Structure 1
Amino acid sequence: MRLPLLLVDPPLDPSGDEARSALRRELLKPEYHDTDVLGRVLDWIDHALDQTVDRATSAPPLSTFAAIVAFLLLGLGLAWLLSRVRRTSRLAGARGPVVEDRTVTAAELRAAAERALAAGRHGDAVVEGFRALTVRQVERGWIDDRPGATAHEVALSLAAAHPDQERRVAAAAGLFDEVRYGDRPANGDQAAEVLALDDALAGVRR
């Protein structure tokens, strides 16, 4: 009579309780409680890269190539992420007033925006165009003259005065901040849309 074969899990070394205790002791170390997340990520990447290079010396050429490509892609992704984080931080901390010169008129700002658009300076056209529509709405009494108002604050006032244009106003205000304070490039269509919004808010038909 043949007895059934029983599969028994091998004993854990260390045991489950010992492993949990070791993990708790490890997590109590100060290096796990700092706020330098980016530094830890970079340290991890550096360590992983060192291990990959060590293993690559004995790995087949195809595996080595694949590992190099993977780390290049990881590096590019990290660089893109860092650029986004820095741009967002700069934008969040550097937002300023829409109109800095309180003596300039809407007509002057609009003319400057049109010259910039014609010259291919689309970022300048966006900035001057949004300033033009802001000053024009103040001149016509649709919104209050609030020195130092940010694009977000201007957008809230414009949306209250022109609820049917709320979406376009919010988009133009966000674009103004990104171009003026976030160093984001703009294209011709975006600049033209800001000028078209100025016309729409002013009731101009083209």
Structure 2
Amino acid sequence: MSGAGGTTPARLLIRASGDIPVDTPRVPAREAARHELSKPMYHENDPNPFQRALDHVWTWIGDLLSSASGAAPGGPAGLIVLVLIVIALIAALLWRLGTPQRGQRTADALFENGPRSAPEHRAAAEAHAAAGRWNQAVQERMRAIVRSLEERTLLDPRPGRTADEAAVEAGRTLPAHAARLRAAAREFDDVTYGGRSAGQQAYLTVRALDLDLESATPELTGALRGAAE
């Protein structure tokens, strides 16, 4: 309060129980009010820590979008156009490249359901083809090719072999069919890991390779050719 001879520190008047005004300094009064407001009864409806954290996140996202819309040409409308362009570019890239391949394939990438004979894989392939399930038909026909080569001892049976590995190994023994084997392996990988869809022609191509390989004879290497002579 102000006096005639100058000013005095601001004080609060608090009535004591006897209705006698009590002159209390400002700092102790503030501490008393803070202590009073810290009581649980005043915070029963406060949001929990998770809700407060979520509110902070939404506030941060809102501020970020506001800043971006202010910086983007055309304001909020320009920001929306930019977001749509980015989404379209990502969609086009995924369509062109296919879905990302798994970082680590299963231990038995080619034969996922255990060992089966080549005729069994061929029968499964024909059943899928008859139903128009071309992806599964291509997969089973490629498995029939590899299993047939293993059964003819042109490939060593090896769990965990991939289609690519089988094509490369078989191509050394059957060099006349090496390019077609690699193409069939790529088709298998595309439909199994790349998210692509095969068609009837893709299946017929792999099927024709399987039929041709049944009568194919291995080409002897230099060492084996000399031993045979």
Q: TM-score, normalised by structure 2?
A: 0.55
Q: Which residue of 1 aligns with 2:151?
A: 139
Matched, 1:195 2:213: no
Instruction: Provide Cα deviations, 1:136-187, integer angstroms capped at 9, x if missing partner.
Output: 1111121111122111211111111111111111111122122223332111
Correspondent of 2:132 among 112, 120, 123: 120
Any idea what the Cα deviations from partners look like across 1:108-148, whole Å, max 9, x if unmatched? Answer: 11011011111100000011000001111111121111122
| Equivalent position of 2:69 in the other structure | 50
Structure whose residues are more often strand by fraction? 2
Q: Deviations over 1:42-82 (max 9, x none)?
A: xxxx79962575x426xxxxxx89x9767634430123335
Match of 1:178 in 2: 190
2:123 maps to 1:111: yes
Q: Is the 8 A contact 2:101 2:194 kept in 1?
A: no
Flag the 1:48–1:119 CA change in 2: closer, same or farther, 3 A. Answer: farther
CA distance in structure 1 between the aligned counterparts of 2:83 and 2:113, rounded to whole angstroms: 49
Alignment of 1:17-166 (within 5 A): 50-51=69-70, 55-56=73-74, 72-81=84-93, 87-90=99-102, 92-94=103-105, 96-166=108-178
- Checking the alignment, whether the CA contact within 8 Å between 1:178 and 1:184 is kept in structure 2 is yes
Conservation of the 8 A alpha-carbon contact between 1:159 and 1:169: yes
Q: Distance in 1 between matches of 2:184 and 2:66?
A: 45
Distance 1:56 1:86, change over 3 A: same
Paired residues, number: 152
Inter-CA distance 76–52: structure 2 relative to 1 (3 Å threshold): farther
Answer whether contact 2:98 2:195 (CA < 8 A) is retained: no
Higher radius of gyration, 1 or 2: 2
CA RMSD of aligned residues (A): 3.2
3-state SS of the aligned residue for 1:182? coil
In structure 2, stretches of 5+ residues that fail to align are 1-64, 217-229
Displacement of 1:84: 6.5
The amino acid of 1:120's aligned partner reads G
TM-score of the superposition, structure 1-length normalised? 0.61
Q: Is the 8 A contact 1:158 1:166 kept in 2?
A: yes
Q: Which runs of 5+ in 1 are unaligned?
A: 1-45, 58-63
Higher RCO (CA 8 Å, separation ≥ 6 residues): 1
Q: 2: CA distance between counterparts of 1:166 and 1:48?
A: 58
Match of 1:4 in 2: none
